[in-house]
Structure formats: structure tokens, C-alpha cells
Amino acid sequence: MILILIIDGAPDRPIRGKTPLSVARKPNLDSIADLGINGIMDTIAPGIRPGSDTSHLAILGYDPYKFYCGRGPIEAAGIGIDVKPGDVAFRANFATVEGKGRIFDKKVVDRRAGRIENTDELIKALREIDLPVEFFIEKATGHRAAVVFRGEDLSAEVGDTDPKKTGEKVKRCEAFNYKAKKMAEIVNEFMEKAHDVLEKHPINVEREKKGLPKANALLLRGAGSMVKIPSFEERYGLKLSVISATALIKGVGVVVGAKVLTPKGATGNKFTDVKAKVDEALSEIKRSDVVLLHFKATDELGHDGDFEGKKEFIEKLDRELWKFLEKDFCLVVTSDHSTPVSVREHTADPVPIAIKFEGVRRDEVRVFSEFEAYKGGLCRIKGLDLINLLLDLTDLAEKFGA
């Protein structure tokens, strides 16, 4: 039995020699490091900034350069849309735009619309938009959503409408080739109509009265079409469960054929019920061969530049991890990428990794942090190495050669 704990975006670059992970009081994480073997991991490759989707694919043994289909289809699958071959899917943010004229004349002032949570009525209104193709939109975590377009001759070879920065105008969707021209035109029509619907919606009228950012635009990015991905059980002969409240990570679980679970109280942010998720993992490990347990809050706090909040969530998580220490399954603690509070974005800095299991060659690392992990016996590995290491440690690996 293998349990992989992913603390999303947990590692940092130091600020005056300190990081949230290094200064947090985390006796249980430190005990895991002390009892195990440690190292650092490039989830994709040195110098390549990982997305959460590509890094999770790699950690589960799927080469993202071969199997990645774009973030849109994965996120859409994670929130329950049945994405079919030929569909074009996008990630979406509810955002705040200001200015005169039409949507593409306006500037983005908040890419997350004040991290709006209650978007159900907005999505319901958007479903009434009339387009020349069928489309689906569903709520994801917080300010996020996914949009899927279905019709003939659609292509995912189009650009984003999200400028990725505040203070810049909403981007027109551009076709990367002639075949994608139809898709770009449909996306731009959708962007205009969505802005009209959202700008006049009673929820946004009320938010404006209260001085809150209006969720008056959708920003689309990460276009992709679903590809055939063999299931985890087909590849490794093992049953996989994924425990997460984050649509993207749930989507990774869906596309690799995992059992996907979101316990009551799991939110995908700093208010998540840590105990419920840890207890769910302990229960699920009795039924599955591999359990991936994911916590998102550290990544969001990194994006927000919140050093103290990130430290506090690491401490909150640590308080429940004593339950893992008394178990004899193979336990991995790591992250999918770094999200330093000083950068507020994913970076390619390697992540610490600790593996606790009977029979591992314990090293001299006693603290789980960016500054200590590189001293460990695992040295430096890639994300694609991890599943092979775990299969070998648990005597599930097949011999290569005679």
C-alpha cells in the first residue's frame, strides 16, 4: 500500500533566509523526514516550470510530453463534464474588467473577481447564451469554471483570452492555423455575450453596491482536446484513488481512471477540513493500492504572497499527520511544484521529497524543508522516477532483463 501526500506549491525561495516550510512548527512532517529517505525532485525536468496538471501526471508515471492534452479538458473532466473526442475545453476564471466599449476594449483589474465563491446563478445565466455550437459550463473551485464547446470541425489550436496580468486588455482568441479559425470566432462571440450577461446580472449589481469586484467577465485559457490515456490500473496493475477538492487534480484522477473522492468539508482552500481528508485517506488505503492525497491551500497562499498564511496552513496540516506515523504503509510526502510567495507563481525550483517505509535506507536528514532535503540519500530525481521507486520499495516492480 502506498500513500502519496501532495502539499501543492509548498516550497519557496527564501526571504531573508527563511521560507514558510522552514519556519513552520511541523513535528510530524519532520518525523517523516527523520524516519525516511529524503531528496529533491524536479517534477518535470530541471528548469521547467510545472503546471499542477503536468506535474501530477508525471508523479503518477505518465510522461506529460506524451499524455498531456491541455488543462482545459482535465479541469472539465474533474468537475463532471463528459468531455468527448473532438470537444474543445477551456479553463475559465470569473474576473473583473473595467473600461468603455466592448469586452476586448476593457482592462482586467482582478483576474479572480475578489475570489468570488458563489457563482452558481451566474453560470446558470451563462447557459442561456445562444451559440452556433453546443457548449457546457460548470463551476469549479472558487472563482474557477470550465467551458466545453462541442460541434463539427472544432480545433484546440487557439490562444487564451486571459492576458494573465491585471492592467492589460482582455485578449481576443486567436487561431494558430486556418483550421482553428472557426473555433476562435466562436470563442470571441462567447466572450462578448458572456460579458453582456454578467455585467447586467443582479449578483453583480449587488456586488457593485457593496464595493465588491464584479464578476463581469470570463477569461478562458488552456484550450485542449481529450486524448486516449491508459488507466493507472492498465499501466501498473494497481488500483488508484485520488482525494482532492480541486477540479484540476480530480480531473487528473478521472483521466487516468482513478477513484476520485472529495470528503465533506474539503474545499480546496485554506478552510478545508484537513481531518476529514486525512481520515478519508486512512480509510481508502484499505481498499486501494495507491492513494494520492492532495492539499491545495499552500499553492493559493503562495499565489497570494501570504507568507504567514502559508506557514499557518502547513502547521494546520501537520497537526493531523501523526495518524500516518503509526501506520506501516509506504508514505511519500512531497509537492507538485514550488509557488514562492516572493514570486506568486509556479517556479522550477525542485521540491523536497521524503519516503517513509520499512526497509528504506534512512539518511541523516531530520527536518522536512527545502534547505535540508537536498542532503538526503535520494539525491535529485524527476517526477517520472517516483512511481518506479515506489514499486521497487514495495516489491511490486518487475525485473528489467533476465
* DSSP one-letter string for 57-72: HHHTT--HHHH---HH
Question: How far apart, in Å, are the Cα atoms of 153 and each of 88, 187, 227, 249?
Answer: 10, 14, 16, 29
| Residue 179 DSSP SS3 | helix
List helix spans (H) across 99-237.
120-126, 181-200, 202-209, 232-236
Q: What letters, b where the CB count within 10 A reaches 16 and e where it falls short, cover 366-386?
A: ebbbbebbbebebeebebbbb
pLDDT digits (tens, 9 = 90+) for 273-291: 999 999 999 999 999 999 9
- Report residue 350's pLDDT band, with 50, 70 and 90 as the boundaries: very high
List helix spans (H) across 87-228.
120-126, 181-200, 202-209
The arithmetic mean of pLDDT across residues 340-363, rounded, is 97
pLDDT for the residue numbered 353: 98
* DSSP one-letter string for 293-329: EEE-HHHHHHHTT-HHHHHHHHHHHHTTTHHHHT--S
Q: What is the mean pLDDT of the chain?
A: 95
Whole-angstrom Cα distance, residue 182 to residue 56?
A: 32
Residue 228 has pLDDT above 90, yes or no: no
Q: What letters, b where the CB count within 10 A reaches 16 and e where it falls short, cover 311-345?
A: bbbbbbbbebbeebeeeebbbbbbbbbbbbbeeee
Contact status, residue 123 vs residue 145, Cβ threshold 8 Å: yes
pLDDT for the residue numbered 36: 97
Whole-angstrom Cα distance, residue 139 to residue 302?
A: 23
Report which secondary-structure segment, H or E, holds 370. Answer: helix 370-373
The tally of CA atoms less than 13 A away on the side-chain side of residue 318 is 22
Whole-angstrom Cα distance, residue 148 to residue 36?
A: 44
Task: State the CATH class of domain 2-68+228-393.
Answer: alpha beta
C-alpha torsion 157→159→161→166, nearest 10: 150
Using a 10 angstrom Cβ sphere, with 0-12 exposed, 13-18 middle and 19 or more buried, the burial of residue 160 is: middle
Q: Which residue carries 501526471 as its cell?
A: 57
- Report residue 238's pLDDT band, with 50, 70 and 90 as the boundaries: very high
pLDDT for the residue numbered 142: 84
Domain boundaries, the chain: 2-68+228-393, 77-224
Report the greatest alpha carbon distance in the chain.
73
- Report residue 226's pLDDT band, with 50, 70 and 90 as the boundaries: confident
pLDDT digits (tens, 9 = 90+) for 171-215: 999 999 999 999 999 999 999 999 999 999 999 999 999 999 999
Residue 340 has pLDDT above 90, yes or no: yes
The arithmetic mean of pLDDT across residues 130-154, rounded, is 93
* Percent share of the chain, pLDDT over 70: 100
Residue 95 has pLDDT above 90, yes or no: yes
Bridge partners, 90 (sequence order): 147
Strands (E), 348-393: 351-356, 379-382
Residue 354 has pLDDT above 90, yes or no: yes
Residue 103 has pLDDT above 90, yes or no: yes
Three cell numbers, residue 393: 520499495
C-alpha torsion 120→124→125→131, nearest 10: 130
Residue 72 has pLDDT above 90, yes or no: no
- Report residue 363's pLDDT band, with 50, 70 and 90 as the boundaries: very high
pLDDT for the residue numbered 85: 84
Q: What predicted TM-score, i.e. pTM, was given to this entire model? A: 0.86
pLDDT digits (tens, 9 = 90+) for 294-307: 999 999 999 999 99
401 C-beta neighbours (distance < 10 Å), count: 3
Residue 17 has pLDDT above 90, yes or no: yes
Contact status, residue 266 vs residue 276, Cβ threshold 8 Å: yes
The arithmetic mean of pLDDT across residues 243-270, rounded, is 94
Contact status, residue 300 vs residue 306, Cβ threshold 8 Å: no
